[in-house]
Amino acid sequence: METENSYCDAKMIQIINNLRDTRIRKGMSQLDVAERAELSRTYIYKIEKYKCNITVSVLIKICQALGVKVSQIIPDETPEEISRADVFQYLTKDMNEKEQNTVLEMVRICVGLKNTI
């Protein structure tokens, strides 16, 4: 479990850095992103300073506000000892069961669409 937590924490830092770098590269302020994502500027600040965790739903909102795909923000490499289920559990830990099931269903749909293309 220690390996999973350190891996997930490192991935989260990469994701947050990618979000911040994308925001800066696009010339957007924290307030710009917050308004477009319907979040508070303080929340965006806390995310960028690693003072709070980012949930999948917030990640999606911020990516939409930045005009990028989530896949452009999330680093792709995953060591074999970390399962996708562990990563999913980490990313959705602040969600209730219904929200987790909704995200899981969205992933299943996306995987199905990817396999048809």
Higher per-residue confidence, 81 vs 62: 62
Q: Is the pLDDT of residue 117 over 70?
A: no
- d(CA 112, CA 4) in angstroms, rounded, equals 27
Contact indicator for 14, 52 with CB cutoff of 8 Å: no
Q: What is the mean pLDDT of residues 57-68?
A: 93
Q: What is the pLDDT of residue 114?
A: 55
The enclosing domain of 109 has a CATH number of 1.10.260.40
* pLDDT confidence band for 1 (50 / 70 / 90): very low
For the chain, the domain total comes to 1
Q: Is the pTM of this model over 0.75?
A: no
Structural domain boundaries enclosing 30? 2-116
Give, as one character, the DSSP assignment of residue 74: S
Q: What is the pLDDT of residue 36?
A: 97
* pLDDT confidence band for 63 (50 / 70 / 90): very high
Contact indicator for 66, 22 with CB cutoff of 8 Å: yes
Tens digits of per-residue pLDDT, 42-52? 999 999 999 98
- d(CA 63, CA 60) in angstroms, rounded, equals 5
Tens digits of per-residue pLDDT, 7-47? 778 888 989 999 999 999 999 999 999 999 999 999 999 99
